[in-house]
Amino acid sequence: MSSIDTIGGRRISRVPVVRPLLVFLRKRTSSWMQAARTRRQLRDLSDAALEDLGLTAEAARREAARPFWDSHGGRWSGGR
């Protein structure tokens, strides 16, 4: 079923609602996967590599410990 009837008898398609939702979910999932991957990589860096990046071991540990959904920038990122 790709449409619904309204009280006035006009048909409204559901497709325009579904497609943007799927695009949003795909982008959000991709973003979360990237955050998880880069945080694992950050966690595995040596102290010398962290120093080259200008990061302390403590700052890298804090960043790596953040959950994948807690990312900078997105619409629902907790105001970051």
* pTM (global) more than 0.75: no
With cut-offs at 50, 70 and 90, classify the pLDDT of residue 71. Answer: confident
Sign of CA dihedral 44, 48, 54, 60: positive
Domain-by-domain residue ranges, the chain? 3-65
What percent of the chain shows pLDDT beyond 70? 70
